């Protein structure tokens, strides 16, 4: 038997085993990441459910900080916080709902809130600016609803305000 043929078979089998092992490790890693996200999401949802029960089963934005000036909404109650949009308009957070670009979103339809602080460096182009921007993500219940994102380069807000909204709705990271 030719030694090069044997060497080629050994390295071929070794290569196949390596590809199979790396594929299995990658699948296990992805499963672990998804389970970690799901655990964190369940913990945030449990905190929000506890907050909901304190208010008789309704989701209410708890707001001990200074309130924004503005008229109350007939459906959502008193105005608590407003993020002005740099091109006109605003994102207005009321006691029981949010008005964002003409969309009226009751807090009862929100399943999770996540705040990404972003990076201080904006980047050279629009793509990097979007990737590095701070954003408050509001995940709505149901599969057909869009996720709402409030980005700092579109809306004027402070990071503490977004953390207060996340914590005030009960979706605390602990």
User: Any residues with CB less than 8 A from the CB of 114 and at least 6 apart, and which?
Assistant: 136, 137, 139, 166, 171
Q: If pLDDT is split at 50, 70 and 90, which confidence band does 10 have?
A: very high
User: How is the chain split into domains, by residue range?
Assistant: 1-174
pTM of the model: 0.77
For the stretch 108-146, pLDDT in tens is 999 889 899 887 776 677 788 778 888 999 999 876 778
Tell me how far apart the 2 most distant CA atoms of the chain are, in Å.
90
């Amino acid at each position: 038997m030719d030694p090069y043929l044997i060497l080629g078979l050994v390295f071929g089998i070794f290569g196949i085993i390596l590809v199979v092992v790396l594929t299995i490790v990658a699948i296990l890693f992805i499963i672990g990441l998804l389970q970690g996200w799901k655990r964190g999401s369940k913990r945030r949802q449990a905190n929000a459910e506890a907050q909901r029960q304190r208010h008789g089963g309704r989701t209410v934005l708890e707001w001990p900080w200074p309130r924004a000036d503005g008229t109350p909404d007939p459906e959502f109650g008193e105005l608590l916080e407003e993020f002005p949009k740099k091109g006109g308009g605003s994102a207005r957070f009321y006691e029981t709902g949010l008005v964002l670009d003409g969309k009226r979103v009751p807090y009862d339809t929100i399943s999770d809130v996540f705040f990404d602080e972003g990076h201080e460096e904006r980047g050279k182009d629009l793509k990097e600016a979007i990737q590095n921007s701070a954003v408050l993500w509001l995940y709505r219940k149901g599969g057909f609803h869009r996720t709402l994102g409030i980005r700092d380069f579109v809306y004027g807000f402070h990071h503490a305000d977004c953390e207060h909204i996340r914590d005030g709705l009960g979706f605390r990271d602990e």
